[in-house]
Amino acid sequence: MNNKYIDQERHKDKEKLLLKATNYASILSLAFFLICFTLLDIHSTLSFIFLAFSLIGLSNTYAYKFHNNLSLAYHISSVSSLIAATAITVLSGGIYSPFLFILTLLVLAGYATERSYGRIYLFAISILALLIFLQGRFLEFNIPNEIPENTRDIFALLSVLFAVYLLGGIFGKDLMHVHHQLYESKREMLAKSEEKDTLLKEVHHRVKNNLQTVSSLLSLQSRGIEDPRTKSILKSSQNRVISMAMVHEMLYMREDLSKIQYKTYVRELSEYLVKSVKGANNKVSLNIDIPDIELSIDTAIPLGLLINEAITNSLKYGIKDDHEGEIYISIEKEDEHSYVLHIGDNGAGYSDSLTSKNSGSLGLKLIHNLARQLKGTITRDPSKKGTNYIVKFREIEPQPFPSVA
């Protein structure tokens, strides 16, 4: 269900509630006028306020068919209701008027339409109630009650019935309907969200399995090859596939399917690479300093491939044979979306004249290309022994088809 459809449904609900409430209130006001004028013998301003409000309401709903401006129709109905209810309350006893309950219903009407309107009405009617109270108690002028003494009980009964009918027959019924719709919509959205999460987990699980199958095929292929260089190329490709498979494995094991805990991922990837290249009984130590950050898949995979290439190069060319060595990896957060990666070793290093452009190393080219994909920069850190890089990167927006080339 898209946002445009939801907005259209909300507009229809508001339109239905406004027209229904305005028409019913207008008809009841017209009936109230006839009763007051004929049966209760009220021929004063109060009766004609009912008549005026009724005519304004009916005219408002009729005019809406032509201008189709829901906001305009709502404000005309709201302002006329507030003025009419206040005037009738003042003319029928002030703070003691039974019609005061109608003013409180306007707060409910505002909340039924928009929460912001409800707050406005709550504030405005609180002020009006205070002014009506002060007018009757402390101000010099006193507005007389236009309801005859012998018909005040009947007027009070009619006012209460008017309020009860508006509350139960219109606002209450529609509010319950809206509440039920919201509950059903929320339940459907939760069900769809759970279904989506299940499908995403299944996708990540299958992608991980497929990548592991590719890795196994590369491993099988390499067993039948005698040439060390070709064997090394296949092993490097296998490690790259594994680094991507690990991301999908960690995603489907988490509740949040959009991000992975990167410290755990880097540690598992680093330990796997060291054992893969140097064997289980190696003399390479890992120094990993990464805070508890979570990165999206679109950042995690290219960054993981970059780390994979840097570690592999360190293990192959920096820390030679069975020598002792240390690989250092740290990530610092600069701001909300920017990070700095420090990665390197204390091994032999290589000449400053060797670059990604003049080198035949695919790993070195990939490191620089992946840094660009992460919208970042990569520089060598000459202050440390061995080969060390400083990579500044940003968490990238989702891309449909990420590429390392």
What's residue 387's pLDDT? 87
What's residue 161's pLDDT? 84
What's residue 402's pLDDT? 47
Q: Of all helices (H) and strands (E), which one includes residue 194?
A: helix 172-223
Distance between CA atoms of 129 and 85, rounded to whole angstroms?
A: 11
- In this structure, how many other beta carbons lie within 10 angstroms of the beta carbon of residue 342? 16
Residues 6+ apart with CB under 8 A from 204: 248, 249, 251, 252, 257
DSSP code for 166: I
Residues 6+ apart with CB under 8 A from 134: none
- How buried is 387 (Cβ within 10 angstroms: 0-12 exposed, 13-18 middle, 19+ buried)? buried
**Beta-strand pair 284-289/325-333:** parallel
- How buried is 243 (Cβ within 10 angstroms: 0-12 exposed, 13-18 middle, 19+ buried)? buried
What's residue 403's pLDDT? 47
Cα–Cα distances in angstroms (integers) from residue 190 to residues 11, 196, 251, in the given order: 23, 10, 20
Q: Which residue has the tokens 């190696």?
A: 282
What's residue 5's pLDDT? 57
Backbone angles phi, psi at 357, to 5 degrees: -80, -40
What's residue 231's pLDDT? 83
pTM: 0.53
Distance between CA atoms of 104 and 106, rounded to whole angstroms?
A: 5
- How buried is 144 (Cβ within 10 angstroms: 0-12 exposed, 13-18 middle, 19+ buried)? exposed
Amino acid at 335: D
Amino acid at 163: A
Angle at 363 between CA 276 and CA 227, to 5 degrees: 60
Do 262 and 331 form a contact (C-beta atoms < 8 A)?
Answer: yes
Distance between CA atoms of 102 and 185, rounded to whole angstroms?
A: 32
Residues 6+ apart with CB under 8 A from 201: 251, 252, 257
Backbone angles phi, psi at 331, to 5 degrees: -130, 130
First vs last C-alpha separation in the chain: 37
Q: What is the 3-state secondary structure (H, E, C) of 328-379?
A: EEEEEECCCCEEEEEEEECCCCCCCCCCCCCCCCHHHHHHHHHHHHCCCEEE
**Residues constituting the chain:** 405
What's residue 115's pLDDT? 63
Backbone angles phi, psi at 352, to 5 degrees: -65, -20
3-state secondary structure of 382: coil
Q: What is the pLDDT of residues 351-385, one digit of tens each?
A: 666 666 666 667 788 888 888 888 889 898 888 88
Do 297 and 251 form a contact (C-beta atoms < 8 A)?
Answer: yes
Q: What is the pLDDT of residues 169-185, one digit of tens each?
A: 565 556 566 556 666 77
Backbone angles phi, psi at 31, to 5 degrees: -65, -40
Six-digit token string for 134: 């002060």
For the chain, which residues score pLDDT lower than 70? 1-11, 13-14, 107-118, 136-141, 168-183, 252-257, 351-361, 398-405
